[in-house]
Structure 1
Amino acid sequence: MSGLNNNQKKAVETTEGPLLIIAGPGSGKTFTLVERIYYLITEKNVEAENILVATFTEKAAQELITRVSNRLNEANISFNLNEMYLGTIHSICLRVLEENRQFTRLKKNFILMDQFDQQYFLYQRIYEYTQFPNVDLLLGERASRWKKAETLLKWLNKVSEEMLDVEQLKNSSELLVQALGYCYGLYQQHLEEENALDFSTIQLETYRLLKKHPEITTQLSGKLHYLMIDEFQDTNTIQEEIIFLLAGEKQNICVVGDDDQGLYRFRGATIRNILEFPSKFEKGKCKQVELSTNYRSHPLIIQFYNQWMEQIKWSCGGKTFRYDKQIEPREGDHPDSRTVIKVSGTDGLGNWEEEVYHFLISMKEKGRLTDWNQVAFLFRSLKNEKVVSLSNYLEERNIPVYSPRSNMFFERVEIRLIIGAFLFLFPQFPQVRKWEENAYLVEWEMYDQYLREFALVLRKPENQKLLKWCRGRAKEHMNLQQNTDYSFAGLFYQLLQFDLFNRYLEQDSYKVKDSRPVRNLSLFSKLLTKFEYLHRVTVFTPKTINIHLTTFFNQFLRFLINGGINEYEDESEYAPSGCVSFLTIHQSKGLEFPIVVVDSLNATPRKQHSDLDEILQETYYRKEPFEPLESTKYYDFWRFYYTAFSRAQNLLVLSCQENTASGQGTRNVPSKPFIESYSSLESWRDSNSIYDFEIEKVKEVNIKKEYSFTSHINIFETCSLQYKFYKEFEFSPVRQGATLFGTLVHQTIEDIHKSALRGEKSKITEENVGDWFNANYNNLVKKERVYLAPQTQKAALNQVLKYVEKQNNKWSHIKEAEVDVSLVKDKYILKGTIDLIKGQNNTVEIIDFKSEKKPDLVKEAAMMYHYKRQLEVYAHLVEERTGQKVSKMHLYYTGEENSNPYVTFPKDIKSIDKTIATFDEIVRKIENKDFTMKKRPIKQCRNCDMRFYCDEKL
């Protein structure tokens, strides 16, 4: 464990009982966590399934898996990392629910909604919620439908996260609280009807599972010997409850965090979880370690943010709401120069943008900046017009800006053109969009502008082919006589064949700044397929075309425009090369940049809670109020900017348009909270020492990606261009039902196998198999919004029943069913889902089900070779991960009626090695963005949405 300081070493080696690690900024927290996991594995001989590590984001989890696997590889230690409970608290809860789904309200194929899905789900049903008495007190009488949905979403999540008693809410004497109780009851009913979960109810369902089924809790806590929870200051009430339930009696809970960086009160996080953690145990039982040596920042930056935190009083009524700490710089030499400065516009001159630009150019010209990505600007919000204006100012002067959350999606030229094209293709829209003569929506002005822009571009000589095509389609749509074979997403892919749009797909660079247009078009394809999924749209018909048109533009697209869409963010490259970053302070949490420019110095502490928050906290929360409500706005404000200031490595810059002679209706800038810190700073123009030291480069984030045979290798080998568009750029294909049949057969066979594995062979009857089949079909249909004709359903069920019949009630050979297996390799993570049966001499055999007739093994030799390689990948996975020996590999054709349904391959080690070497080579090509293709696979083109593009370009 070389490289650990004394406190880090203590944090690593303190494994038994509760442990609180207060980790200040830049104190090597992730390094310490990696070493602690390594120590448990190597010194305490702990198995993978005995460790739970909860991180704040999926990206943090991926980084941790990568770093731990690299650490183990260096020591030549084989370890099944995939069996660890490692991920966000949400993903760990989801795993617990999926492993114990039969004890919950959830059925197979449940729908998991993100925040957009959840809000749109409420928006579509908002009328039902507005029928409750006094609901206007909660949602606002004059608010729009989407504003009501947004408000309702916030309060429903609050009820879930605080585990409030719904019956108590319904019976409240407070009319506002009563309305919330009834809304929540209806929402729970809607979720159950749709077999759906949102992010808050993932946790609530997990909590209910653990409370209602103590045998499951005992089993889990008996298995989970060591728990580590990162960013504990940002956990909420229900997360803390779940963590303590999972910890059980061992209480080997290690929580890591920094109370000074608690930013997520608005999402229900409570700082009390980290501040009260030691008091959860007998006095003296919880050990405490402070990581206070900052390895990130220059000493003057550390001094600056330490002094910032000392400006306010953190005690009230005999309680202190902050751990007493002093962050210290690492030992060693540091540049003797000013590293905290200001870059601001002069009072009265309005020259802030110009000053920022000249500062950046000066740093570049003096050789301090080698890549624009060494600079990050941090703001409270990126949607502020001043921020957008600065972004435009810099880009116009050839300083690219990476700002994916700036709400600019609908302003990008490629999106304006594609929306304009859709409007041109449906000339009836200006008439049908009105539900009454005087109807008006402000978004129509934007649509009309986009249509004019597209029409103007369409007149150019190079777009004559597109003009002719668009006129023909528009004429058809205006007087549609018969069903089309496409809807919005199908039209989108047809448009990509024309130069106006396919030029965005042609770039050779995969840098974020260069690929933004193609990634925005990809995101638009996702929005189209989501609309078609939510509204069950597959084709245009003479009866439905106008309804779909108005629903798409007047509701769905308008909803997105109002809510804002984030552009593409690269998880493996948080500071893309060639761009300065514009981030929110929340977004920057956990990151570091050589130069950090903190703006939004006009802000003041503001109350973040409403009257309803106070009522709920005083009367309905499970705990007494913690921090004094009147103080929270100050505490949160100081923590917020402390987090921002502590992101800087070499240079911290405070920036604003100074305004001290404020007139009526204007505010002093910087505002009062910043005056003390800001007033002593030297301007960059007066500080030549900023050019005297090296600016570090942005650290590379090395995250291992997951690859599977079917989802990656198969697609790449079939058509590398298809991989490029669907996997690399993540275009969303138009939904097709071809896989529904196979999924249905697979899932029902899985139910049969799991029944056998539970020792319930007597339940494998024709009647029960039919019930399982129908339940799977109904839930799949609800999730996929795709249907099978009755005779096709019958054919699928017959395949399953035929399989049962052929087994002749002998199920003892089944070993494991549909097991997700992953193997951490040097460069990537290999994944697969595998069925195992018992082989001879303590070996296992792999079986993969194909829901079709057995092919002619000679005529279809190429396909059989492909399937054999898939099974070889599975064999490699099983042997490397579990140590079990594989003796045979089988394909089972459930559609085969007359002959033996099996095709069996012997295991050949040389052949497996060759297959894995090919797999490694394909992963290398993918990661090097090598999507060159020798020959177009014509057979595959018929069902590919990109065929229109390829027909034109290849």
Structure 2
Amino acid sequence: MVEAVQKSVFSSQANPRQLEAIQKTDGPLLIIAGPGSGKTFTLVERIVYLITHRQVAPENLFVVTFTDKAAQELTTRIASRLLKLNIRFNLNEMYLGTFHSICLRWLEEYREFTRLKRNFTLMDQFDQQYFLYQRVSHYQNLPGIEHIIDPDSRQKTWDRTAHLLRWLNVVSEEALDPQTLVQAEHSEIKALGHAYTLYQQQLDEENALDFSTIQYEALKLLKSHPQVLAKLRQTITYLMVDEYQDTNTVQEQLLNLLAGDQPNLCVVGDDDQGLYRFRGATIRNILQFKNKFSPGQCEQVTLKTNYRSHPDIVRFYNHWMNDQVWSVDGQDFRFDKQIEARDDDFTDVPCVIKVAGPTPEDWHREMLDFLSHLRNQGHLTDWNQVAFLFRSVKNDKVVALAQFLEANGIPVYSPRSNQFFDREEIRLMIGALIFLFPQFPQARKWAEDAQLGIWQYYDQECVPLFAQELRKPENEDLLKWARSLAKQHLYLTDNTNYAFSGLFYQLLRFPLFSRYLDESLMVGGVQDGRSMRNLAIFSQLLVKFEYLQHLSVLSPQSLDKSLRNLFNQFFRFLSEGGINEYEDDSEYAPSGCVSFLTIHQSKGLEFPVVIVGSLNAAPRRQHSKLDEILEEGYLSRPVFEPLNHTKFFDFYRLYYTAYSRAQNLLVLSCVEKAGRGRTPSKYFADYYNELPAWRDLSFDVTSLPLARVKDVNLKRDYSFTSHLVLFENCAEQYRFFKELEFAPVRKSPILFGTLVHQTIEDIHKTVLRGQEHKLSVEQIESWFDTNYAYLTKRERVYLSPVVKKIALEHVLRYYRRNGNDWNRVKEAEVDVSLVKDEYILSGSVDLIQGEGNTVEIVDFKSEKKLDVNDPKDRDKLDRYRRQLEVYAHIVEERTGSPVSRMHLYYTSEENGNPYISFTKDRRLIDTTIQTFGEVVRRIEEKDFSIPERPEKACKECDMQPYCDAKNWNFRGGE
């Protein structure tokens, strides 16, 4: 077995430098990985080498990537390699993910050592800004706050909030001590300290955590609790960090703490592709990494063979970087390196060219002709082989080019171009919601002469479009329904049983909107399903608004206020901030479309043809006076890159990253302009002017081969309850709420069960820590009350005193029954996964108990115990049995320990046996796993057909109005 594994590793296509990086596992290692140099391949093989040759267990590995997508790709590739080698390995036990996801895992695992309570709220960036917006008045009286935000300025409150948010995030990302800031001599720094202290108090009051403070809270956890740090250090023996050039101060401090004095720490990155200074990243972390260790302790491997690009492209971006000045006062701010193209037979044709025009119209036409030439005369077989890269895809010139290409038959995929509110389906939906409230023209005004730009959007883009559609005969039913409901809303006297999201789902039943939801549109890719995806995002926004506003129904007393909050604030903020459309991580370049991406968005990707625009750009000053003051001694380390040079460094790195995305053809493109505002700017002119134009005779498109866009082939996670059961109950429901991610309004009443479950988990965690002596009725009641308080705060659902008492009895009954048998508890709340050929099977086991070599699986139920002899309970019992079979399959495969029994434990059972037990039957398990695989196949093939409408599943489904109106013509499917 070992020989076979060794052969599989060493017979891989690793070049000598890659092999050196793979086998150097002990001590610190710096891997400088140029573009296209096989960085991910090297990381995967290094992890496999550690597992196969160093017998490293999954929990001993700490692997950090920069994005969720990169983590998912790395997980897929590791899983596939280990599966091929027939090696059992539980990926859930491996610390693999982004810094944020791993830190969040620690905060949840060691929550009792943090400020966080159970059921804390995790805010995304919009939630965070909206959170601050609602409390911004609390900041306006802080001393010196005018240095952070100007409370008397004419700047919009939302924009002032964004400015405040940026500086609060700086404190987190730089791991600054608020108390030190409060005591600073500079009034600006004092103000920042006071603002952050207030913000922390507000987060504590709401039991909330934002994206930027996840890492800061994790750092405080490790610094303040040596026992936690010691446990993690004992567990994690090998650390690997990808994209190290994009790490920030708090991330580096976390790594230093984890690595300790004898670090097996490998960092991988490319200083030339450091792009995220605006998020707090600092290039110093990679440039000075070796300086943290004694001379000769840290080895360096440079991967400089580019397997991606034509030599002409490699020569061009080498020339770009080598021409720049990277040294200031004798200090270098770049590793000296020269990227080399792979050894291969390449066509002798210019592969770096330019496409331009003297006017925007000419530029559009030239670009259309050029793309058509690639398709008609060259080897372009799919538009997705072409990617346009810009500094921003929201720029008017970029949007105009995209619109021109689409008008001339070239579809454009540009999910971050801020076109969400321009889409027809969104304008129609907003127009419909406005129509349903005749009081809207008055309700939207809150002060005399107040004017908002968003009103023009409503009046010109939304209301007329919806009114125009209502005049069509096919929308007669919608008109009747909307008029009747509008009249009710105008004279509303009682509370409704719905809010805005409920109206949204009612509207979906009418052909004006249901036409966007047809299942056939899903198989055509992202572009065909774009409208339904946007409607799904719109549902998420409405549900989020109602959650933030504590709004569940419309009432006569607060209707006008709710309308103002939705249309004057919420939609306005979203419109001004920009909403991204749906992006599919498994298909970064959708077939049939050219991609319009930002350069940042393209990082880590590759395309056969890359067209780089934004050639009018120049280096921009990115720092403020407050940045300068912070660098005078308030940061944790002395200044590294001189502030007056950072704009140049970042500019050169940005376009280097853009150029190096190209595989076969790199195109520089712009509207050429002389004089003031010249394009290309002086920073590009020399490079641009040397390039042949695409119509030049030396550019022979027929002799230039173009690669296909590579398949990402990400393995997706599937679980029994979240996927198999939902799909089997109703594939249509699965399509909307799982695949498309529509946000449900109606949620099952699970508060009771969650409360019981969480408190039993507290008991198990105490036992597993060896502290069962701390268990008592009083302690359990305290956990129960705390769980209830924070669970209801988050969910905004409550139990009556009688029902709450019954829930507590469930927990205490379990405690009394098992008080003398805690030694059988082996693991609790275990996230498990198993890599299959086409997917990753995952689950969460409530309890693993047992003695000796065998284990038993227990799943807790707080409902009334089912009767095994009652035919009415048979389907439910069968579903539970199959769920346990899946868990047994995973546990046996990942641990090798046989599962002897599987149990349902009913906490509701007062006097009888609380267990329903099942004997493991290998044939039944195999059948269940086979069924699971077939469901996954249908999901991945976008087959959501159903033989008949499952009436039982309709009762609590928000899509019921849509399905009621749907023309169901069953044919073994729809």
Residue-by-residue CA offset, 1:685-730 (whole Å, 9 max, x unaligned): 1144133121111000011000111111010010000000011101
The yes-or-no answer on 1:520 pairing with 2:520 is no
The one of 67, 70, 75 aligned to 1:57: 67
Distance 1:23 1:829 in 2: 29
1:218–1:248 contact (8 Å) kept in structure 2: no
The one of 596, 603, 607 aligned to 1:593: 607
Distance 1:475 1:792 in 2: 40
Q: Secondary structure at the match of 1:513?
A: coil
Residue-by-residue CA offset, 1:499-532 (whole Å, 9 max, x unaligned): 0000000041430010100000000000011011
- Aligned positions of 1:17-56 closer than 5 A: 17-56=27-66
1:594–1:695 contact (8 Å) kept in structure 2: yes
1:341–1:654 contact (8 Å) kept in structure 2: yes
Distance 2:848 2:381 in 1: 58
2:370 — aligned with what?
359
1:542 — aligned with what?
556
- Aligned positions of 1:863-882 closer than 5 A: 863-882=876-895
2:711 — aligned with what?
700
2:28–2:265 contact (8 Å) kept in structure 1: yes
Q: How many residues align?
A: 949
1:137 — aligned with what?
147
Distance 1:773 1:549 in 2: 38
Q: Compute the displacement of 1:808 (Å).
A: 5.2
Q: Compute the displacement of 1:638 (Å).
A: 0.5
The more displaced of 419-428 and 680-689 is: 680-689
Q: Secondary structure at the match of 1:605?
A: coil
1:260–1:639 contact (8 Å) kept in structure 2: yes
Q: Secondary structure at the match of 2:528?
A: helix
The more displaced of 751-760 and 827-836 is: 751-760
Q: Compute the displacement of 1:349 (Å).
A: 7.4
Residue-by-residue CA offset, 1:400-426 (whole Å, 9 max, x unaligned): 100000000000000000000000011
1:159 — aligned with what?
171
Distance 1:723 1:143 in 2: 45
- Aligned positions of 1:377-776 closer than 5 A: 377-449=388-460, 450-510=462-522, 511-660=525-674, 662=675, 666-687=676-697, 688-736=699-747, 738-776=749-787
| Letter in structure 1 aligned against 2:902 | M
Q: Compute the displacement of 1:321 (Å).
A: 0.6
2:746–2:956 contact (8 Å) kept in structure 1: no
1:529–1:735 contact (8 Å) kept in structure 2: no
Q: Secondary structure at the match of 2:596?
A: strand
1:339–1:690 contact (8 Å) kept in structure 2: no
Q: Compute the displacement of 1:807 (Å).
A: 3.1
Distance 1:588 1:424 in 2: 41
The one of 937, 944, 951 aligned to 2:957: 944
Distance 2:825 2:57 in 1: 25
Q: Compute the displacement of 1:839 (Å).
A: 3.3
Q: Compute the displacement of 1:65 (Å).
A: 1.1
Q: Secondary structure at the match of 2:857?
A: strand
| Letter in structure 1 aligned against 2:26 | E
The yes-or-no answer on 1:232 pairing with 2:254 is no
Q: Secondary structure at the match of 1:524?
A: helix
1:487–1:538 contact (8 Å) kept in structure 2: yes
Distance 2:437 2:287 in 1: 59
The one of 241, 246, 252 aligned to 2:264: 252
Q: Secondary structure at the match of 2:445?
A: coil
Q: Secondary structure at the match of 1:738?
A: coil
2:204 — aligned with what?
192
Q: Compute the displacement of 1:759 (Å).
A: 3.2
Distance 1:70 1:847 in 2: 30
| Letter in structure 1 aligned against 2:608 | P
Distance 2:190 2:518 in 1: 57
1:891 — aligned with what?
904
1:118 — aligned with what?
128
Distance 1:836 1:774 in 2: 23
1:350–1:657 contact (8 Å) kept in structure 2: no
Query: TM-score, normalization: structure 1?
Result: 0.98
How has the CA–CA distance of structure 1 residues 507 and 852 changed in structure 2, closer, same or farther, with 3 Å as cutoff?
closer
Distance 1:358 1:759 in 2: 73
Residue-by-residue CA offset, 1:410-454 (whole Å, 9 max, x unaligned): 000000000000000111111122122322222111112211211
1:507–1:514 contact (8 Å) kept in structure 2: no
Distance 2:747 2:14 in 1: 54
Distance 1:840 1:171 in 2: 58
2:940 — aligned with what?
927
The one of 95, 115, 132 aligned to 1:105: 115
Structure 1 runs of 4+ off > 4 angstroms? none
| Letter in structure 1 aligned against 2:417 | S
Q: Secondary structure at the match of 2:792?
A: helix
Q: Compute the displacement of 1:903 (Å).
A: 1.0
The more displaced of 546-555 and 709-718 is: 546-555
Distance 2:482 2:609 in 1: 49
1:525–1:731 contact (8 Å) kept in structure 2: yes
Distance 1:421 1:562 in 2: 21
The one of 787, 793, 796 aligned to 1:782: 793
1:305 — aligned with what?
317
Q: Compute the displacement of 1:757 (Å).
A: 2.6
1:62–1:703 contact (8 Å) kept in structure 2: yes
| Letter in structure 2 aligned against 1:158 | V
Gaps in structure 1 of 5+ consecutive residues: none
Q: Compute the displacement of 1:774 (Å).
A: 1.3
CA RMSD of aligned residues (A): 1.4
2:410–2:594 contact (8 Å) kept in structure 1: yes
| Letter in structure 2 aligned against 1:812 | N
Distance 2:266 2:420 in 1: 41
Q: Secondary structure at the match of 1:152?
A: helix
The more displaced of 72-81 and 359-368 is: 72-81
Q: Compute the displacement of 1:770 (Å).
A: 1.7
Distance 2:741 2:798 in 1: 25
The one of 294, 301, 305 aligned to 2:306: 294
How has the CA–CA distance of structure 1 residues 164 and 808 changed in structure 2, closer, same or farther, with 3 Å as cutoff?
closer
1:23–1:29 contact (8 Å) kept in structure 2: yes
Q: Secondary structure at the match of 1:694?
A: coil
The more displaced of 20-29 and 241-250 is: 241-250
Q: Compute the displacement of 1:736 (Å).
A: 2.4
- Aligned positions of 1:835-850 closer than 5 A: 835-839=846-850, 842-850=853-861
The one of 899, 921, 928 aligned to 1:915: 928
The yes-or-no answer on 1:127 pairing with 2:141 is no
Residue-by-residue CA offset, 1:876-928 (whole Å, 9 max, x unaligned): 11111111211111112222335322211111111111111111111111111
Distance 1:809 1:476 in 2: 62
The yes-or-no answer on 1:814 pairing with 2:820 is no
Distance 2:444 2:729 in 1: 43
Distance 1:228 1:708 in 2: 28
How has the CA–CA distance of structure 1 residues 108 and 273 changed in structure 2, closer, same or farther, with 3 Å as cutoff?
same
Gaps in structure 2 of 5+ consecutive residues: 1-9, 969-974
Distance 1:901 1:484 in 2: 42
Distance 1:814 1:255 in 2: 39
Q: Secondary structure at the match of 2:416?
A: coil
The one of 228, 232, 238 aligned to 1:216: 228
1:85 — aligned with what?
95
Q: Compute the displacement of 1:350 (Å).
A: 4.6
Distance 2:515 2:234 in 1: 58
Distance 2:325 2:814 in 1: 72
| Letter in structure 2 aligned against 1:69 | A
Distance 1:792 1:432 in 2: 41
1:162–1:237 contact (8 Å) kept in structure 2: yes
